[in-house]
C-alpha cells in the first residue's frame, strides 16, 4: 500500500521540489486521526478495518467506503527541501541578473534572444 501511494505522489513531489530526493522510507503514513499506520509484514491489511463490517453473526462483509491516508514528510526533511528550493531560486535569480547585465552591455541589447515557433495546420475531410 505504501509503495502504491508513494508511486502516485512522487511525480508531483519531484515537480514541486525540483527533484529533491525523497525515499519511501522517509515518509510516515498516518490515518485521518493522525495515528501512525505501520506497515505489516507482508505489507497488507493495514487499512482493512475501514472496509469490512462485522455482522451480527460474526461474519465480515465488505463495505464500500473511502479512507484518508496522510503521507507525512518529517519536518527535518521538509526544512532541508525548503532551503534547497530557496537556494535554487536564488541561483536562478543570479543567472537572470548575469544575463540582464550581458544584454545591457551588448550593442543591440537583443543579441541573446531568438524566438522561434511552428504552426501545424490540419485539414478536415
pLDDT for 37-46, tens place per residue? 877 666 566 5
- The pTM (predicted TM-score) of the whole model is 0.57
CA 71 to chain centre: 11
pLDDT for 47-85, tens place per residue? 666 667 777 787 777 766 677 788 899 999 999 999 999
Give the chain's largest Cα–Cα span. Answer: 88
End-to-end alpha carbon distance in the chain: 49
Strand stretches in the chain, DSSP E: 28-30, 52-54, 60-62, 70-72
Measured between alpha carbons, how far is 90 from 52 in angstroms, rounded to an integer?
51
Amino acid at each position: 500500500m505504501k509503495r502504491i501511494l508513494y508511486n502516485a505522489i512522487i511525480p508531483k513531489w519531484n515537480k514541486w521540489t525540483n527533484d529533491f530526493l525523497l525515499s519511501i522510507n522517509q515518509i510516515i503514513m498516518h490515518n485521518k486521526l493522525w495515528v501512525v499506520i505501520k506497515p505489516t509484514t507482508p505489507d497488507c491489511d493495514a487499512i482493512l478495518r475501514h472496509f469490512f463490517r462485522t455482522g451480527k453473526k460474526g461474519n465480515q462483509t465488505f463495505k464500500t467506503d473511502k479512507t484518508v491516508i496522510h503521507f507525512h514528510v518529517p519536518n527535518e526533511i521538509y526544512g532541508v527541501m525548503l532551503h534547497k528550493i530557496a537556494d535554487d531560486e536564488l541561483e536562478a535569480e543570479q543567472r537572470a541578473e548575469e544575463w540582464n547585465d550581458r544584454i545591457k552591455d551588448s550593442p543591440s541589447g537583443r543579441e541573446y534572444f531568438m524566438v522561434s515557433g511552428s504552426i501545424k495546420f490540419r485539414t478536415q475531410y
